[in-house]
Chain A
Amino acid sequence: MPILEAQSLTKTFRRPDKASGFKGAVKHLMQRKYKNYTAVDGIDLSIEPGESVAYVGPNGAGKSTTVKLLTGILRPSEGTVRVMGRDPHTERIANAHDIGVLFGQRTQLWWDLPVEESLKLLKHMYGVSDADYKRRIEKFDELLDLGEFMPALARTLSLGQRMRADLACALIHDPKMVYLDEPTIGLDISVKDRLRAFLRELVNDGTTLLLTSHDLADIEEVCERIVVIDKGAIAYDGSIDRLKAHYITTKAVNLYLEGAADVPELAEKFPDYEWAAGEAPSEVTVTYESGRFTTAEVLGSLTAQLSPRDLSLSEPSIEDVIRRLYAGELTK
């Protein structure tokens, strides 16, 4: 049975339709006009216990709105959500016991108090026993180095520290279902790495995870399934591996030649591959269909006839696929 199920989930917002400037403001005051705009448009989503799902989409695609609908903050305009059998909006308090939520852009720490006080208050709210609290804090300290800033006032933390503390707040009650809305936003590489390692561990322990992010490395390292949303609707839903297998049909080799590369001449010589000039005059990129040729075949024929100074293989990137999905080039 799925832990989370959404059916034709829709959220429509009413936005004032106001012309700019003073004239527009006066006109709006006299005659109010509104425009409806649909942030989430008929989403069907089902998540099984233990799954780790990346929820991806360009800015304004409706990711955060979906998370707010799934966590019970917003009331759907249409459609239904069930999380562990409950409606998260009408049964908000019961639902809140079983979920953990992190909004990367909004802290849940009390701004003018030490981090420890915020965690202790949450301990009370979730009814966490002293023993569990102690054990979890120790674990967070080990994985996120929480101890160093537990006594610090939340407003004095760096962004990386704040995010780690917020993550501890979201997980202090060992929730079954965790929503992380952009947990790595604005963080440097080393903090991101730590956070990802922590999230992998969380998933390995059986926690169900829904993660939104613009950072595709978060997604590849933490999640198995990816849901791509665009203009409020789902553009792709499936495993990351299938996304790659399905949409990454070409591979590429970069060649570094002795002299300047003559792209038209090379294209004529090897008509089966696609040729493009590289960054330097002596560099050239060869793209080939991975279903037709093996990499060994391609490298064999190229090195035999061109004897390049050096070569490198381009890893197929999920980033390209998602970029193309956003651009509407690919369909389900």
Chain B
Amino acid sequence: MSHSIAVDRALVVIAFKRRLAYKSHWFFGLAIGGGSMLIAMVMWQNLIGSGTLSGYDWDSMRAYTIIGFVAATMVFGAADWTMADRILDGHVAVDLTKPVDFQRARAAEYIGSMLSTFPTAVMGVVAAWLLFDPPGPVSPLAGLLTVVSFAFMFPLAFGLTYLSTLVCFWTKRYLGIMWLREALLSFFSGLMIPLAFMPGWLQAVAWALPFPHFTTTPSAIYLGRVDTAGALGLLAAEAAWAVGLWVLGWLVFRSAVKRVTVHGG
């Protein structure tokens, strides 16, 4: 057991270092993420003014936008294409000769890659805090549960990314799948506009998917839009999705590995 944990840790560290090797990624991530956050802030300030929109006033919207920024930085900053590239260019053959569980090794790498977004997220949050002075969490407990909700983003983002990269075994292309996943995530997470602004049936669709947990869930807990019981329910839903996506990934891999075709060399 301790041996496989050492492998996990080594994979996390190596993926983290690989991302840090390209410092320009960071600055771009910060510039794009920070820029989007600024634009959103200006937009909401003008739209909401001193009133409220579907239960959001300008105070809560500032916190919401910062939470969205952190989620986006974590999810979009992770190097998801490296997994897909290895499947597409045949390096997956090398991965399959290693004495480690494929899914677990990819998860460790993905977590390392997600952790590398940490400095960007911290810098962005500190700057936003200084500029916009958002309200704190509705209670210390809510603050703690928000952090838990963010922690669930690791297995959730990995599960979605892993499944979409495994599709490459069939499609032999990744770009379209990545765009689809990112579009669905941006829309149904509440990253573009809060889910509360959408018609009821569309909200129902969103909540049937894992995506709302990437912005709506942590912000709802943080802002007290759900009570403690509601917050625990949302976290339970996140845990269920994390397990479900892991099992689904395992099943899809079992079928994908039978389809491996690596030609030439």
Shortest CB distance A72–B (Å): 7
A71 within 8 A of partner (CB): yes
Known contacts A73-B93, A75-B257; A182 and B265 CB within 8 A of each other: yes
From B6, B21, B96, B257, residue with most partner A Cβ within 10 Å: B96
CA of A187 to CA of B66 in the docked complex: distance in angstroms?
54
Question: Are A93's CB and B99's CB within 8 A?
Answer: yes
Chain B contacts for A117, CB-based, 8 A: 14, 17
Complex contact B262–A68 (CB within 8 A): yes
Interface flag for A103 (CB, 8 Å): yes
Q: Which of A46-54, A124-132, A321-329 sits within the interface?
A: A124-132
Stretch at the interface among A108-116, A231-239, A280-288: A108-116
| Cβ B262 vs Cβ A108 within 8 A | no
A93 and B105 CA atoms in complex are apart in Å by 12
In the assembled complex, A211 has its CB within 8 A of some CB on chain B: no
Interface pair B265/A93, CB less than 8 Å apart: no
Task: Establish whether residues A106 and B21, one from each chain, have CB atoms under 8 Å apart when the complex forms.
Answer: no
Q: How far is the CB of B87 from chain A (nearest CB, A)?
A: 12
Bound-state CA distance A64–B98 (Å) is: 18
Interface size on A (CB < 8 Å)?
A: 34
Q: Tell which of A94-102, A136-144, A194-202, A255-263 binds the partner.
A: A94-102
Q: How far is the CA of A117 from the CA of B99 in the complex (A)?
A: 18
| Cβ–Cβ contact B262 & A73, under 8 A | yes
Say yes or no for A7: interface residue by CB 8 A criterion: no
Question: CB-defined interface of A162-194 with B at 8 Å, one 1/0 digit per residue?
Answer: 000000000000000000011000000000000
Q: Which of A13, A94, A97 contacts B261 (CB 8 A)?
A: A13
Decide: B98 and A113 in contact? CB cutoff 8 A. no
Contact check, A110 vs B261: say whether CB atoms are below 8 A apart. Answer: no
Let me know if B97 and A106 touch, CB within 8 A: no
B264 contacts across to A, CB distance below 8 A: 64, 105
- Bound together, the chains give a CA A122 to CA B257 distance in angstroms of 22
Q: Which residues of A contact B90 (CB under 8 A)?
A: 106
Asked if B7 CB lies within 8 Å of chain A CBs, one says yes
Q: Does A125 lie within 8 Å of B17, measured CB to CB?
A: no
Q: How far is the CA of A181 from the CA of B97 in the complex (A)?
A: 13
Cβ–Cβ < 8 Å partners of B263 in chain A: 13
Question: Does B101 reach chain A (CB closer than 8 Å)?
Answer: yes
Please tell me if the beta carbons of B97 and A99 are within 8 angstroms of each other in the complex.
Answer: yes
Bound-complex Cα distance A126 to B17 (A): 21
A92 at the interface (CB under 8 A from B): yes
Q: Is A26 an interface residue (CB 8 A)?
A: no
Asked if B23 is at the interface (CB within 8 A of a chain A CB), the reply is no
B78-111, CB < 8 A from A: 90-91, 93-94, 96-101
Partner of B93, one of A96, A106, A124, A182: A106
Interface string of B3-27 (1 = CB under 8 A from A): 1001100110010011001100000
Query: Which residues of the other chain, B, contact A110 by a CB distance below 8 angstroms?
Result: 14, 18
Whether A120 contacts B91 by the Cβ 8 Å rule is: no
Measured in the bound complex, the distance between the Cα atoms of B11 and A74 in whole Å is 25
Does A57 have its Cβ within 8 Å of any Cβ on chain B? no
* Cα of A92 to Cα of B98 in the assembled complex, Å: 9
Report A87 CB to chain B, min CB distance, Å.
13
**A residues less than 8 Å from B96 (CB atoms):** 71-73, 92, 96
Min CB distance, B145 to chain A, in Å?
A: 35
Nearest opposing residue in chain A for B9, CB measure:
A124
Contact of A96 with B98 in the complex, beta carbons under 8 Å: yes
Does A121 reach chain B (CB closer than 8 Å)?
yes
Q: A120-B10, A124-B7 are in contact. Are A73 and B260 (CB under 8 A)?
A: yes
A105 to B210 alpha-carbon distance, docked (Å): 40
Closest to A120 in B: B10
Minimum CB distance partner of B258 in chain A:
A75
B237-265 residues with Cβ-Cβ distance < 8 A to A are 257-258, 260-265
How many angstroms from the CA of A127 to the CA of B2 in the assembled complex? 10
| CB<8 Å pairs between A and B, sample of 25 | A68-B93, A72-B97, A74-B261, A74-B262, A75-B258, A75-B260, A92-B96, A93-B100, A93-B101, A103-B93, A104-B265, A106-B265, A107-B94, A110-B14, A110-B18, A113-B14, A113-B17, A113-B21, A117-B17, A121-B14, A122-B98, A124-B7, A125-B99, A126-B99, A182-B265
Give the 4 A-B residue pairs with the shortest CB-CB distance, closest first: A105-B265, A96-B99, A101-B97, A124-B10
